[in-house]
Amino acid sequence: MRVVLIHAVREAMAPVRDAFSAHWPQCEIHDLLDSSLSADLAARDGVLTEGMVERFRLLARYAARPAPDERKADGILFTCSAFGPAIEAAAREVEIPVLKPNEAAFTEAIDCGARIALLVTFEPSLPPMLQELRQALAQRQVAEQPLGVVVPGAFAALKSGRAEEHDALIADAVARLPAMDAIVLGQFSMARAASDARRATGVPVLTTPESAVRRLRERLTGRAGG
């Protein structure tokens, strides 16, 4: 199988590659990166423009339509959690499966129980992700509302090369949460903090890349990721 990974930040690339190595090492993966997307979204205070949506459509078409003498992709995984509506629009442009970054983690979290905390480090990601999680809870007829938490300073620390500080800030935020059934680290770049976060709580801590790779493998091959 060949999967194209589409990123809006460089920091998402290593965590998802690690997840493929752990849960689907046989898959051939390739990367597309448009790092200007996250900068443009932040500059517009999280407002998704039609121009950004069109860029997602173009990226999906580019990933799905190889030259005549090349292998086509079997699926696309977007790793940019702040762009849910744009990813949905992109999925309608292509005939191969397209997976949003957080949908699998949300399903696994709801399987754990109704009280879910969603942590992010990139603030524009939170409103669309909370909306998506609320919709997933409603579809399962769960009335409980999710708790959304921004971990201030963590993303800036990671981008500045202070990875240990990034992980510690996330673990501290996890330790301060009220009683939960599951905790979702909502961005791919946060997955590196999972071990520290799990040591800070007895609650299941889910990472979006691990959940996404497991779901994509099952969808494309019929086999759940181990």
Same domain, 78 and 156: no
Shared domain check, 122 and 71: no
Specify whether 44 is located in the same domain as 27. Answer: yes
Do 164 and 177 sit in the same domain of this protein? yes
Examine residue 53 and state whether it is found in any structural domain, yes or no. yes
Task: Please check whether residues 75 and 153 belong to one and the same domain.
Answer: no
Residue 83 lies in a domain: yes
Give domain status of residue 132, yes or no.
Answer: yes
Length of the chain counted residue by residue: 226
CATH number for the domain spanning 176: value is 3.40.50.1860
Does residue 66 carry a pLDDT above 90? no
Establish if 157 belongs to a structural domain. yes
Q: Within a domain: residue 175?
A: yes
pLDDT at 223: 66
* pLDDT given at position 79: 92
Residue 226 lies in a domain: no
Q: How confident is the model at residue 9 (pLDDT cuts 50, 70, 90)?
A: confident
Percent of the chain with pLDDT over 90: 80
Judgement on whether residues 32 and 129 belong to the same structural domain of the protein? no
pLDDT at 195 over 80: yes
The domain of 27 spans 2-101+210-221
Kindly state whether residues 73 and 51 are assigned to the same domain: yes
Q: In the prediction, which pLDDT does 128 show? A: 87
Judge whether 2 and 73 are in contact, CB under 8 Å. yes
pTM: 0.87
DSSP calls for 129-169:
HHHHHHHHHHHTT--PPPEEEE-TTHHHHHHTT-HHHHHHH
> Same domain, yes or no, for 29 and 64?
yes
Residue 182 within any structural domain of the chain: yes
- What is the edge-to-edge ordering of all strands in the sheet holding 2-7? 28-33, 2-7, 75-78, 98-99
pLDDT, tens digit, for every residue of 161-171? 999 999 999 99
Same domain (yes/no): 125, 203: yes
Encode pLDDT of 14-24 as tens digits. 999 999 999 99
Q: Work out the number of other CB atoms within 10 angstroms of the CB of residue 89.
A: 18
SS3 85: helix
Total domains in the fold of the chain: 2
Q: How confident is the model at residue 68 (pLDDT cuts 50, 70, 90)?
A: low
73 and 91 assigned to the same domain: yes
Q: Looking at the structure, do residues 110 and 198 belong to the same domain, yes or no?
A: yes
